[in-house]
Chains A and B, each alone.
Chain A
Protein backbone atom coordinates (compact mmCIF):
# COMPACT_ATOMS: atom_id res chain seq x y z
CA UNK A 1 0.00 0.00 0.00
CA UNK A 2 1.48 3.44 -0.87
CA UNK A 3 2.42 5.42 2.29
CA UNK A 4 0.46 8.51 1.19
CA UNK A 5 -2.85 6.69 1.47
CA UNK A 6 -1.92 5.28 4.85
CA UNK A 7 -1.01 8.72 6.17
CA UNK A 8 -4.22 10.34 5.01
CA UNK A 9 -6.26 7.80 6.87
CA UNK A 10 -4.29 7.89 10.08
CA UNK A 11 -6.69 10.22 11.94
CA UNK A 12 -10.17 9.04 10.94
CA UNK A 13 -12.04 11.93 12.59
CA UNK A 14 -10.04 14.78 11.05
CA UNK A 15 -10.88 16.03 7.54
CA UNK A 16 -8.18 14.90 5.06
CA UNK A 17 -7.13 18.48 4.27
CA UNK A 18 -6.18 19.10 7.94
CA UNK A 19 -4.21 15.91 8.48
CA UNK A 20 -0.84 17.60 7.96
CA UNK A 21 1.92 16.95 10.46
CA UNK A 22 1.97 20.58 11.65
CA UNK A 23 -1.73 20.85 12.41
CA UNK A 24 -1.84 17.54 14.23
CA UNK A 25 1.18 18.43 16.35
CA UNK A 26 -0.41 21.77 17.20
CA UNK A 27 -3.66 20.04 18.15
CA UNK A 28 -1.80 17.53 20.33
CA UNK A 29 0.04 20.31 22.14
CA UNK A 30 -3.10 22.33 22.69
CA UNK A 31 -4.84 19.24 24.11
CA UNK A 32 -1.90 18.72 26.46
CA UNK A 33 -1.70 22.33 27.61
CA UNK A 34 -5.40 22.65 28.28
CA UNK A 35 -5.42 19.33 30.11
CA UNK A 36 -2.46 19.87 32.38
CA UNK A 37 -3.74 22.99 34.11
CA UNK A 38 -7.01 21.27 34.96
CA UNK A 39 -5.48 17.92 35.94
CA UNK A 40 -5.36 18.70 39.64
CA UNK A 41 -8.86 20.13 39.66
CA UNK A 42 -9.92 17.05 37.71
CA UNK A 43 -8.73 14.83 40.56
CA UNK A 44 -10.69 16.86 43.15
CA UNK A 45 -13.76 16.92 40.93
CA UNK A 46 -13.44 13.20 40.22
CA UNK A 47 -13.17 12.21 43.89
CA UNK A 48 -16.04 14.47 44.93
CA UNK A 49 -18.04 13.27 41.95
CA UNK A 50 -18.17 9.95 43.76
CA UNK A 51 -18.68 11.36 47.27
CA UNK A 52 -21.50 13.61 46.03
CA UNK A 53 -23.08 10.88 43.96
CA UNK A 54 -23.43 8.86 47.15
CA UNK A 55 -24.08 11.76 49.47
CA UNK A 56 -26.90 9.85 51.17
CA UNK A 57 -24.48 7.14 52.32
CA UNK A 58 -21.02 8.75 52.26
CA UNK A 59 -22.22 12.30 52.83
CA UNK A 60 -19.85 14.63 54.56
CA UNK A 61 -18.70 12.04 57.06
CA UNK A 62 -15.62 13.97 58.07
CA UNK A 63 -16.83 16.08 60.97
CA UNK A 64 -16.96 19.85 60.98
CA UNK A 65 -15.27 21.54 63.91
CA UNK A 66 -17.28 24.32 65.49
CA UNK A 67 -15.95 26.82 68.03
CA UNK A 68 -17.61 29.78 69.61
CA UNK A 69 -16.00 32.83 71.10
CA UNK A 70 -16.87 36.43 71.85
CA UNK A 71 -15.32 39.67 70.71
CA UNK A 72 -15.60 42.90 72.70
CA UNK A 73 -17.75 45.42 70.83
CA UNK A 74 -16.93 49.14 70.74
CA UNK A 75 -18.77 51.11 73.46
CA UNK A 76 -20.59 53.23 70.91
CA UNK A 77 -21.98 50.17 69.12
CA UNK A 78 -22.27 50.17 65.34
CA UNK A 79 -23.96 52.82 63.23
CA UNK A 80 -24.31 50.73 60.09
CA UNK A 81 -23.78 47.28 58.69
CA UNK A 82 -20.74 48.55 56.79
CA UNK A 83 -19.17 49.77 60.04
CA UNK A 84 -19.87 46.40 61.63
CA UNK A 85 -18.39 44.64 58.61
CA UNK A 86 -15.25 46.79 58.75
CA UNK A 87 -14.81 46.18 62.47
CA UNK A 88 -15.18 42.41 62.19
CA UNK A 89 -12.93 42.13 59.13
CA UNK A 90 -10.21 44.07 60.91
CA UNK A 91 -10.41 42.22 64.22
CA UNK A 92 -10.58 38.75 62.69
CA UNK A 93 -8.16 39.67 59.87
CA UNK A 94 -10.52 38.54 57.15
CA UNK A 95 -10.26 39.66 53.58
CA UNK A 96 -13.23 37.88 52.05
CA UNK A 97 -16.42 39.77 51.38
CA UNK A 98 -19.20 38.95 53.80
CA UNK A 99 -22.70 37.76 53.09
CA UNK A 100 -25.62 38.96 55.16
CA UNK A 101 -27.17 36.26 57.25
CA UNK A 102 -30.87 35.91 57.16
CA UNK A 103 -31.07 34.04 60.41
CA UNK A 104 -33.53 34.69 63.19
CA UNK A 105 -31.24 37.19 64.90
CA UNK A 106 -30.60 39.16 61.78
CA UNK A 107 -34.30 39.73 61.29
CA UNK A 108 -34.53 41.86 64.43
CA UNK A 109 -34.09 45.59 63.82
CA UNK A 110 -30.65 46.90 64.72
CA UNK A 111 -29.17 43.42 64.90
CA UNK A 112 -26.30 42.63 62.62
CA UNK A 113 -25.40 39.21 61.34
CA UNK A 114 -22.68 38.49 58.81
CA UNK A 115 -21.07 35.36 57.47
CA UNK A 116 -17.56 35.17 56.07
CA UNK A 117 -16.95 31.92 54.29
CA UNK A 118 -14.67 29.85 52.11
CA UNK A 119 -14.93 26.23 51.10
CA UNK A 120 -12.77 25.29 54.10
CA UNK A 121 -14.11 27.48 56.88
CA UNK A 122 -16.71 30.04 57.91
CA UNK A 123 -17.19 32.72 60.53
CA UNK A 124 -20.70 33.65 61.60
CA UNK A 125 -20.72 36.90 63.50
CA UNK A 126 -23.76 38.42 65.18
CA UNK A 127 -24.31 41.49 67.29
CA UNK A 128 -27.36 42.59 69.25
CA UNK A 129 -27.45 46.34 70.08
CA UNK A 130 -26.73 47.05 73.72
CA UNK A 131 -24.52 43.98 74.10
CA UNK A 132 -20.89 44.31 75.10
CA UNK A 133 -19.76 41.40 72.95
CA UNK A 134 -20.12 40.10 69.43
CA UNK A 135 -20.76 36.41 69.13
CA UNK A 136 -18.46 34.61 66.70
CA UNK A 137 -18.97 31.04 65.55
CA UNK A 138 -16.06 29.57 63.65
CA UNK A 139 -16.65 26.44 61.60
CA UNK A 140 -13.79 24.43 60.13
CA UNK A 141 -15.39 22.18 57.57
CA UNK A 142 -14.25 18.57 57.27
CA UNK A 143 -12.17 17.46 54.29
CA UNK A 144 -15.03 15.87 52.35
CA UNK A 145 -17.35 18.77 53.04
CA UNK A 146 -14.65 21.19 51.85
CA UNK A 147 -14.02 19.27 48.64
CA UNK A 148 -17.75 18.90 48.00
CA UNK A 149 -18.13 22.67 48.35
CA UNK A 150 -15.29 23.14 45.85
CA UNK A 151 -16.98 20.78 43.41
CA UNK A 152 -20.30 22.64 43.64
CA UNK A 153 -18.82 26.14 43.81
CA UNK A 154 -20.53 26.61 47.16
CA UNK A 155 -19.08 28.99 49.72
CA UNK A 156 -16.64 30.25 47.12
CA UNK A 157 -15.94 33.53 45.45
CA UNK A 158 -16.27 34.65 41.85
CA UNK A 159 -12.74 33.57 40.94
CA UNK A 160 -13.26 29.97 41.94
CA UNK A 161 -16.54 29.92 40.00
CA UNK A 162 -14.58 31.20 37.00
CA UNK A 163 -11.99 28.45 37.53
CA UNK A 164 -14.83 25.90 37.53
CA UNK A 165 -16.26 27.47 34.36
CA UNK A 166 -12.86 27.22 32.72
CA UNK A 167 -12.63 23.60 33.85
CA UNK A 168 -16.05 22.85 32.34
CA UNK A 169 -14.99 24.55 29.10
CA UNK A 170 -11.79 22.50 29.13
CA UNK A 171 -13.75 19.27 29.51
CA UNK A 172 -15.73 20.11 26.38
CA UNK A 173 -12.59 21.17 24.52
CA UNK A 174 -10.69 18.05 25.57
CA UNK A 175 -13.58 15.82 24.51
CA UNK A 176 -13.62 17.34 21.03
CA UNK A 177 -9.85 17.51 20.50
CA UNK A 178 -9.45 14.05 22.03
CA UNK A 179 -11.77 12.64 19.41
CA UNK A 180 -9.87 14.43 16.64
CA UNK A 181 -6.60 13.01 17.96
CA UNK A 182 -7.92 9.46 17.78
CA UNK A 183 -5.64 7.60 15.40
CA UNK A 184 -5.75 4.17 13.89
CA UNK A 185 -2.89 3.27 16.22
CA UNK A 186 -5.37 3.47 19.09
CA UNK A 187 -7.94 1.21 17.52
CA UNK A 188 -10.55 0.90 14.79
CA UNK A 189 -12.61 4.10 14.41
CA UNK A 190 -15.88 2.25 14.07
CA UNK A 191 -15.41 0.62 17.45
CA UNK A 192 -14.49 4.03 18.86
CA UNK A 193 -17.70 5.55 17.56
CA UNK A 194 -19.70 2.63 18.89
CA UNK A 195 -18.20 3.11 22.34
CA UNK A 196 -19.05 6.79 22.24
CA UNK A 197 -22.59 6.13 21.22
CA UNK A 198 -22.96 3.49 23.88
CA UNK A 199 -22.50 6.22 26.48
CA UNK A 200 -24.88 8.51 24.64
CA UNK A 201 -27.44 5.72 24.50
CA UNK A 202 -26.99 5.00 28.20
CA UNK A 203 -27.42 8.70 29.01
CA UNK A 204 -30.48 8.83 26.78
CA UNK A 205 -31.92 5.70 28.34
CA UNK A 206 -31.41 6.77 31.93
CA UNK A 207 -32.12 10.43 31.29
CA UNK A 208 -35.07 10.36 28.98
CA UNK A 209 -36.64 6.99 29.76
CA UNK A 210 -40.05 7.05 31.48
Chain B
Protein backbone atom coordinates (compact mmCIF):
# COMPACT_ATOMS: atom_id res chain seq x y z
CA UNK B 1 0.00 0.00 0.00
CA UNK B 2 2.90 2.27 0.74
CA UNK B 3 4.39 2.18 -2.73
CA UNK B 4 0.91 2.84 -4.13
CA UNK B 5 0.62 5.97 -2.02
CA UNK B 6 4.08 7.12 -2.89
CA UNK B 7 3.72 6.60 -6.62
CA UNK B 8 0.31 8.33 -6.56
CA UNK B 9 1.91 11.26 -4.78
CA UNK B 10 4.90 11.61 -7.10
CA UNK B 11 2.89 11.14 -10.26
CA UNK B 12 0.21 13.51 -9.01
CA UNK B 13 2.73 16.15 -8.12
CA UNK B 14 4.38 15.92 -11.51
CA UNK B 15 1.00 16.26 -13.22
CA UNK B 16 -0.34 19.00 -10.97
CA UNK B 17 0.91 21.82 -13.19
CA UNK B 18 -0.53 20.01 -16.20
CA UNK B 19 -3.81 19.69 -14.31
CA UNK B 20 -3.89 23.46 -13.94
CA UNK B 21 -3.04 24.07 -17.61
CA UNK B 22 -5.52 21.53 -18.93
CA UNK B 23 -8.19 22.35 -16.36
CA UNK B 24 -8.24 26.08 -17.08
CA UNK B 25 -8.08 25.61 -20.85
CA UNK B 26 -10.88 23.02 -20.76
CA UNK B 27 -13.23 25.66 -19.41
CA UNK B 28 -11.91 28.25 -21.85
CA UNK B 29 -12.36 25.85 -24.78
CA UNK B 30 -15.83 24.68 -23.77
CA UNK B 31 -17.13 28.20 -23.17
CA UNK B 32 -15.41 30.49 -25.65
CA UNK B 33 -18.22 33.03 -25.14
CA UNK B 34 -17.07 33.61 -21.54
CA UNK B 35 -13.56 34.46 -22.61
CA UNK B 36 -13.48 37.30 -25.10
CA UNK B 37 -10.88 35.76 -27.35
CA UNK B 38 -8.11 38.19 -27.90
CA UNK B 39 -7.45 37.83 -31.60
CA UNK B 40 -3.92 36.86 -32.50
CA UNK B 41 -1.80 39.83 -33.43
CA UNK B 42 -0.55 39.54 -36.99
CA UNK B 43 2.23 41.69 -38.35
CA UNK B 44 3.93 41.53 -41.71
CA UNK B 45 7.57 42.51 -42.06
CA UNK B 46 9.70 42.77 -45.13
CA UNK B 47 13.36 41.97 -44.77
CA UNK B 48 15.76 42.46 -47.59
CA UNK B 49 16.92 39.40 -49.48
CA UNK B 50 20.59 38.85 -50.31
CA UNK B 51 21.66 40.26 -53.69
CA UNK B 52 22.36 36.86 -55.16
CA UNK B 53 18.79 35.78 -54.33
CA UNK B 54 17.66 32.62 -52.58
CA UNK B 55 17.88 29.21 -54.17
CA UNK B 56 16.10 26.85 -51.78
CA UNK B 57 13.57 26.60 -48.96
CA UNK B 58 16.40 25.63 -46.63
CA UNK B 59 18.41 28.72 -47.51
CA UNK B 60 15.38 30.89 -46.75
CA UNK B 61 14.86 29.06 -43.44
CA UNK B 62 18.51 29.53 -42.43
CA UNK B 63 18.31 33.22 -43.22
CA UNK B 64 15.14 33.71 -41.16
CA UNK B 65 16.48 31.64 -38.27
CA UNK B 66 19.56 33.86 -38.18
CA UNK B 67 17.58 37.09 -38.50
CA UNK B 68 15.09 36.25 -35.72
CA UNK B 69 17.37 34.08 -33.59
CA UNK B 70 15.23 30.96 -33.91
CA UNK B 71 16.35 27.47 -33.05
CA UNK B 72 13.24 25.40 -33.82
CA UNK B 73 12.97 23.20 -36.89
CA UNK B 74 11.05 24.88 -39.69
CA UNK B 75 8.57 23.34 -42.12
CA UNK B 76 9.96 23.85 -45.60
CA UNK B 77 7.84 24.64 -48.63
CA UNK B 78 4.11 24.82 -48.90
CA UNK B 79 2.59 21.61 -47.63
CA UNK B 80 -0.69 22.19 -49.47
CA UNK B 81 0.98 22.77 -52.82
CA UNK B 82 3.26 19.81 -52.25
CA UNK B 83 0.30 17.52 -51.50
CA UNK B 84 -1.48 18.62 -54.66
CA UNK B 85 1.60 18.00 -56.73
CA UNK B 86 2.13 14.57 -55.22
CA UNK B 87 -1.41 13.48 -55.96
CA UNK B 88 -1.50 11.29 -59.07
CA UNK B 89 -3.87 12.51 -61.80
CA UNK B 90 -5.83 9.25 -61.69
CA UNK B 91 -6.36 9.46 -57.91
CA UNK B 92 -10.08 10.02 -58.41
CA UNK B 93 -10.59 6.55 -59.86
CA UNK B 94 -11.22 5.06 -63.27
CA UNK B 95 -10.91 7.57 -66.09
CA UNK B 96 -13.32 7.11 -68.99
CA UNK B 97 -12.26 8.23 -72.48
CA UNK B 98 -14.70 11.15 -72.36
CA UNK B 99 -13.48 12.47 -69.05
CA UNK B 100 -9.90 11.92 -70.15
CA UNK B 101 -10.55 14.04 -73.20
CA UNK B 102 -12.27 16.68 -71.09
CA UNK B 103 -9.39 16.62 -68.63
CA UNK B 104 -6.81 17.02 -71.36
CA UNK B 105 -8.90 19.94 -72.64
CA UNK B 106 -8.66 21.71 -69.32
CA UNK B 107 -5.01 20.89 -68.88
CA UNK B 108 -4.13 22.63 -72.14
CA UNK B 109 -5.63 25.84 -70.74
CA UNK B 110 -3.62 25.47 -67.55
CA UNK B 111 -0.46 24.96 -69.59
CA UNK B 112 -1.27 28.14 -71.44
CA UNK B 113 -1.18 30.08 -68.17
CA UNK B 114 2.09 31.86 -67.49
CA UNK B 115 4.41 29.84 -65.28
CA UNK B 116 4.74 31.55 -61.96
CA UNK B 117 8.25 32.19 -60.69
CA UNK B 118 9.80 29.94 -58.08
CA UNK B 119 8.34 30.39 -54.59
CA UNK B 120 10.17 29.61 -51.38
CA UNK B 121 8.57 29.21 -48.03
CA UNK B 122 9.70 28.39 -44.49
CA UNK B 123 7.34 28.19 -41.49
CA UNK B 124 8.43 28.25 -37.88
CA UNK B 125 5.44 27.11 -35.86
CA UNK B 126 5.09 27.66 -32.16
CA UNK B 127 2.16 27.82 -29.76
CA UNK B 128 2.91 31.39 -28.76
CA UNK B 129 4.39 32.78 -31.95
CA UNK B 130 4.41 31.66 -35.56
CA UNK B 131 6.64 33.00 -38.33
CA UNK B 132 5.98 32.25 -41.97
CA UNK B 133 8.50 33.55 -44.49
CA UNK B 134 7.85 33.60 -48.21
CA UNK B 135 10.17 34.68 -50.98
CA UNK B 136 9.42 34.92 -54.69
CA UNK B 137 12.52 34.51 -56.83
CA UNK B 138 13.60 37.85 -58.27
CA UNK B 139 12.11 39.97 -55.46
CA UNK B 140 14.21 42.25 -53.33
CA UNK B 141 12.42 41.45 -50.10
CA UNK B 142 11.37 38.43 -48.09
CA UNK B 143 7.89 38.70 -46.64
CA UNK B 144 7.58 37.51 -43.06
CA UNK B 145 4.16 37.07 -41.44
CA UNK B 146 4.42 36.97 -37.68
CA UNK B 147 1.51 35.82 -35.51
CA UNK B 148 1.56 36.39 -31.77
CA UNK B 149 -1.05 34.91 -29.50
CA UNK B 150 -2.30 35.85 -26.04
CA UNK B 151 -1.38 33.61 -23.11
CA UNK B 152 -4.87 32.09 -22.89
CA UNK B 153 -4.89 31.41 -26.61
CA UNK B 154 -1.45 29.81 -26.27
CA UNK B 155 -2.63 27.64 -23.39
CA UNK B 156 -5.66 26.57 -25.46
CA UNK B 157 -3.39 25.57 -28.31
CA UNK B 158 -1.17 23.67 -25.88
CA UNK B 159 -4.24 21.76 -24.75
CA UNK B 160 -5.16 20.94 -28.34
CA UNK B 161 -1.55 20.09 -29.20
CA UNK B 162 -2.10 21.84 -32.50
CA UNK B 163 1.06 22.68 -34.35
CA UNK B 164 3.10 21.45 -31.45
CA UNK B 165 6.56 20.07 -31.25
CA UNK B 166 7.33 16.43 -30.63
CA UNK B 167 8.38 17.16 -27.05
CA UNK B 168 5.03 18.65 -26.14
CA UNK B 169 3.20 15.76 -27.79
CA UNK B 170 5.16 13.38 -25.62
CA UNK B 171 4.36 15.40 -22.48
CA UNK B 172 0.68 15.33 -23.45
CA UNK B 173 0.78 11.55 -23.81
CA UNK B 174 2.54 11.09 -20.50
CA UNK B 175 0.03 13.37 -18.80
CA UNK B 176 -2.89 11.42 -20.32
CA UNK B 177 -1.36 8.19 -19.07
CA UNK B 178 -0.82 9.76 -15.63
CA UNK B 179 -4.49 10.74 -15.40
CA UNK B 180 -5.41 7.10 -16.02
CA UNK B 181 -2.86 5.83 -13.49
CA UNK B 182 -3.88 8.41 -10.91
CA UNK B 183 -7.51 7.41 -11.31
CA UNK B 184 -6.64 3.75 -10.78
CA UNK B 185 -4.16 4.19 -7.92
CA UNK B 186 -6.50 6.75 -6.34
CA UNK B 187 -9.29 4.21 -6.42
CA UNK B 188 -7.19 1.72 -4.48
CA UNK B 189 -6.18 4.42 -2.04
CA UNK B 190 -9.80 5.31 -1.32
CA UNK B 191 -10.00 3.74 2.15
CA UNK B 192 -6.73 5.35 3.10
CA UNK B 193 -8.38 8.67 2.28
CA UNK B 194 -12.05 8.60 2.89
CA UNK B 195 -13.98 5.48 3.68
CA UNK B 196 -15.22 2.03 2.69
CA UNK B 197 -14.40 0.78 -0.77
CA UNK B 198 -18.03 -0.17 -1.49
CA UNK B 199 -18.93 3.50 -1.32
CA UNK B 200 -16.13 4.29 -3.76
CA UNK B 201 -17.42 1.66 -6.13
CA UNK B 202 -20.89 3.18 -5.89
CA UNK B 203 -19.61 6.66 -6.72
CA UNK B 204 -17.44 5.26 -9.46
CA UNK B 205 -20.51 3.64 -11.01
CA UNK B 206 -22.37 6.94 -10.80
CA UNK B 207 -19.57 8.48 -12.88
CA UNK B 208 -19.91 5.62 -15.35
CA UNK B 209 -23.70 5.94 -15.45
CA UNK B 210 -23.54 9.69 -15.97
CA UNK B 211 -21.12 9.27 -18.85
CA UNK B 212 -23.16 6.54 -20.49
CA UNK B 213 -26.49 8.28 -20.09
CA UNK B 214 -25.66 11.78 -21.17
CA UNK B 215 -23.24 10.74 -23.83
CA UNK B 216 -24.67 7.67 -25.45
CA UNK B 217 -28.33 7.40 -24.58
CA UNK B 218 -28.93 10.98 -25.63
CA UNK B 219 -30.44 9.95 -28.94
A residues sitting closer than 8 Å to B (CB atoms) are 28-29, 31-33, 35-50, 52-54, 94, 96, 116-123, 146, 149-150, 153, 156-157, 159-161, 163-165, 167-172, 174-176, 178-179, 181-182, 185-187, 192, 195-196, 198-200, 202-203, 205-210
Contacts and interface: CB of A to CB of B under 8 A. Distances in A.
- 7 A-B pairs with the lowest CB-CB distances in the bound complex, closest first: A49-B176, A118-B218, A210-B126, A32-B193, A32-B194, A168-B26, A40-B207
A172 B19 contact: yes
Interface in B169-219: 169, 171-173, 175-180, 182-184, 186-187, 189-190, 193-195, 200, 203-204, 206-208, 210-211, 214-219
Interface residues of B, number: 73
B210 to A, nearest CB: 6
A44 to B, nearest CB: 7
B186 A207 contact: no
Contacts of B165: 206
Contact of A50 (B6, B155, B176, B208): B176
B1 to A, nearest CB: 12
Contacts of A196: 13-14, 16-17
Contacts of A44: 211
18 contacts: A32-B193, A32-B194, A41-B210, A46-B179, A50-B173, A53-B169, A96-B219, A116-B219, A163-B214, A165-B31, A168-B30, A172-B23, A174-B19, A195-B13, A196-B13, A196-B17, A208-B154, A210-B124
B187 A39 contact: yes
Interface string B16-35: 11111111101100110000
